[in-house]
Amino acid sequence: MKKTMIRLSTIEDVRNFVNIVARYDCDIDLSSGRYIVDAKSIMGIFSLDLLNPIELTAHCESADRLFEEIKKFIVA
């Protein structure tokens, strides 16, 4: 399991992000406050507070390739 913070600022960001994570077989969650949604769900993502960074949790053996593909969404 690996975690990071991401920011999805636009509708286009959400669409591109979901297209990337949908290619992975592992479970990927996004959490904002006490809400946790499936990162592969556009509707779930839009139910979160997108004004603030969102925590991404990848339940994969090796999430390095995933993190490389989503690096433009990762915030420090």
**Tokens 């994570």 found at:** 21
| Model pTM above 0.85 | yes
pLDDT for the residue 59: 95
Kindly indicate the confidence band of residue 62, based on its pLDDT and cuts at 50, 70 and 90.
confident
What domain range is 39 assigned to?
2-75
DSSP string of 20-46, one letter each residue: HHTT-SSEEEEEETTEEEETT-HHHHH
Pairing of strands 74-75, 35-38: unpaired
CA max distance for the chain: 30
* Percent of the chain topping pLDDT 90: 93
DSSP state of 51: T
CATH number at residue 14: 3.30.1340.10
Number of structural domains, the chain?
1
Number of residues in the chain: 76
DSSP state of 10: S
Cβ neighbours around 1 below 10 Å, total: 11
Kindly indicate the confidence band of residue 41, based on its pLDDT and cuts at 50, 70 and 90.
very high
